[in-house]
Chain A
Amino acid sequence: MIRRASSFLLYLLLALLALAVLYPLIFTVFSSFMSEAEVSNFPPPLFPREPNFANYEKAIQTVPVLRFILNSFLVSTAIMLCQIVTSSMAAYAFSFLRFPGKHVLFFLFLSTMMIPWEVTIIPNYLSIKSWGWMDSYQGLIVPFMAGAFGVFLLRQFFLQLPHELFDAARIDGCGHLRNFVAIVLPLSRPALSTLGVYVFLNHWNSYLWPLLITNTPTMRTVQIGVGMLQFQEVNSWNMILAGITLVLLPSLFLLALGVKQLIRGITAGAVKG
């Protein structure tokens, strides 16, 4: 009896806490389906009476939301693919190849994780500007084509792969290049997709860099774009929230796919110490 009562209290408490955490998102999604008349009431109703997609149409027409989404998608995908290529190559060298200077170079890679963005952002901005790369895809993509984090994640994974496999392949006369492409990469699909999702989300959500180096509306990325909705139409909150809902969709999709496992995988190495 006491047990029942206490688990009922736990459910009640959790429901209240869940409502508090969810409320900003409920507000966002529900308002995005409301008509202008409904939103301009104060207080606005909790549920949209006649859910409609008018706000989405308006958001797409008045500001180039689709263009922002396309830009972010292009930039994040390009960075993701480049990082998978550069990281897996470097990780292969560090795990399977013997060469002079390996330890020094490894330490050099390690040290890049200590350099924070606030220190590099001013010189990088000046470089991009002097190369005439403002408002360009290369300005958004090239500085992020490699990352030490990906190299370490993949190196740890490569080192866990069964070594007998490579020894057998080498005896068969399989060189490193083929070993890399035909054996290591296919076996590492879980780690590669973890890295891919992580990098994609990071750059989909990136704010400061695109804010600094893009000025024309057609080059803006989503995170800056939703901010522009706010300045264009002060009175139509539902349109802003429709834009935000659109921008949240990819991350929501990835959460449903299993961002949890992703974070667990990424933090596991860091926590075990």
Chain B
Amino acid sequence: MAVTELSSLKRSKRKEIALAYFFLAPALAVFALFLFYPMLKSVYLSMTLTDPRGRVAEFVWFDNYKDLFLSEAFFHSLKITLYFVLLTVPTTILWSLLLAALTHNKLRGMKVFQFIFSLPIIISVGTGSIIWLLLFHPTAGMLNYFLSKIGVSAIPWLTDPSWALLSVSLMTVWMNMGFVYIVLLSGLQGIPDDIYESAKIDGAGPVRSFLQIVLPLLTPTLFFVLIVSIIGAFQAFGQINILTKGGPMNATNVVVFTIYQDAFINFRFGIGSAEALILFAIILALTVLQFAVLERKVHYQ
């Protein structure tokens, strides 16, 4: 009796294990084929020279990396990427924070403004870039028309090397603000009402109570938005491919665009993989750094 019970228990346990592996198998298969294997292959490819069809022609150890570290063009594209991150991330967060702070109150009609400021979330990189390509048009674009109305001469938005990165950043801030705004607004709404009330009773003005009381409570949300935005900015590609193709004179040639050009236009998959891994290392290091330095200042409740 006891023996059969034990063996049936064993059987049901074995069944449970089999079921678990069966349930994990589909996801594992996809990860193995399209994440783990490519990750390893990328490391291998980065140490090779390939023919245009991606077949390895020669194993060159670290020569690709050596070439990249000696290449002025690659450092230029790293510099452009850094500028792009600095131009877009703080602007998007501050702008969205301002809008969230202004619309987080109980006045009538705020729902309408909240909807409008969330609206850019529907914009994808493909559609947003083309809308702005038309707005930026040097002669027929509406931006230059509005500028002419207030007496400012036409700006060569995408055609002048000193303007192009700013213009792409402007479009990027607009495209990303919907997401950041929604996250920050819901962060504000998560702060209990009595905190605002007690600040009011203490006689703190709206600006001071926001900076001294609300902002510290919002740091977890801000930290999340910062991490996600920085990673996203380092990986920007679509708007650059559509608006400027890295030009004029490489003024907007960010690292991901360089990878795209090397790997998929010039079919140099080895050097492209090396560039991708360097970018990955930079993003990873920055994320770890942010967790180490900033997270201590984040105020978790």
Q: Which residues of A are in contact with B by a Cβ distance under 8 Å? A: 7, 10-11, 13-14, 17-18, 21-22, 24-25, 27-28, 42-43, 85-87, 89-90, 92-93, 97-100, 102, 105, 108-109, 112, 114-127, 129-130, 142-146, 148, 151, 176-177, 204-205, 207-208, 211-212, 222-224, 226-227, 229-230, 237, 240-241, 244, 247-248, 251-252, 254-255, 259-260, 263-264, 267, 270-273
Check: B119 CB closer than 8 A to any chain A CB: yes
State whether A118 and B35 are in contact (beta carbons under 8 Å apart), knowing that A7-B107, A241-B134, A248-B122 are contacts in the complex: no
Contact B182 A263 (CB under 8 A): yes
Check: B246 CB closer than 8 A to any chain A CB: no
Closest to A252 in B: B122
Contact A244 B131 (CB under 8 A): yes
Bin chain B's interface residue count.
35 or more
A-B contacts, 6 of them at CB < 8 A, read: A97-B20, A145-B30, A176-B16, A223-B238, A260-B182, A273-B298
Contact A145 B26 (CB under 8 A): yes
State whether A146 and B30 are in contact (beta carbons under 8 Å apart), knowing that A115-B35, A223-B127, A271-B224 are contacts in the complex: yes
**B216-268, CB < 8 A from A:** 220-221, 224, 231, 235, 237-238, 241-242, 256, 259-260, 263-264
With both chains docked as a complex, state the minimum distance between the C-beta of B48 and any C-beta of chain A, in angstroms.
12
Contact A21 B102 (CB under 8 A): no
Check: B179 CB closer than 8 A to any chain A CB: yes
Closest to B149 in A: A43
Check: B60 CB closer than 8 A to any chain A CB: no
Contact B42 A123 (CB under 8 A): yes
Closest to B54 in A: A126
Contacts of B34 in A (CB 8 A): 120, 124, 127, 142-144
State whether A227 and B126 are in contact (beta carbons under 8 Å apart), knowing that A116-B280, A122-B273, A123-B38 are contacts in the complex: yes
Contact B235 A120 (CB under 8 A): no
Q: Total A-B residue pairs with C-beta atoms closer than 8 Å? A: 238
Contact string, B256-290, partner A, CB cutoff 8 A, digits 1/0? 10011001100001001100110110011000000
Query: Complex: how many Å from CA A126 to CA B142?
Result: 42
Closest to B133 in A: A230
Contact A119 B280 (CB under 8 A): yes
Query: Complex: how many Å from CA A20 to CA B241?
Result: 25
Q: Interface of chain A, helix or strand or loop or mixed?
A: helix
State whether A255 and B122 are in contact (beta carbons under 8 Å apart), knowing that A118-B235, A118-B276, A207-B237 are contacts in the complex: yes
Contacts of B13 in A (CB 8 A): 98
With both chains docked as a complex, state the minimum distance between the C-beta of A100 and any C-beta of chain B, in angstroms.
7
Query: Complex: how many Å from CA A120 to CA B127?
Result: 25
Contacts of B221 in A (CB 8 A): 267, 271
Residue from B19, B127, B238, B260 whose CB has the most chain A CB atoms within 10 Å:
B127
Contact B27 A223 (CB under 8 A): no
State whether A205 and B124 are in contact (beta carbons under 8 Å apart), knowing that A21-B119, A119-B42 are contacts in the complex: yes
Query: Complex: how many Å from CA A115 to CA B281?
Result: 11
Closest to A259 in B: B121
Closest to A126 in B: B54
With both chains docked as a complex, state the minimum distance between the C-beta of A261 and any C-beta of chain B, in angstroms.
9
Q: Which of B19, B42, B107, B122 interacts with A122 by CB under 8 Å?
A: B42
Contact string, B178-189, partner A, CB cutoff 8 A, digits 1/0? 010011001100
Contact A237 B134 (CB under 8 A): yes
Check: B45 CB closer than 8 A to any chain A CB: yes
State whether A255 and B27 are in contact (beta carbons under 8 Å apart), knowing that A10-B107, A14-B102, A273-B298 are contacts in the complex: no
Contact A205 B126 (CB under 8 A): yes
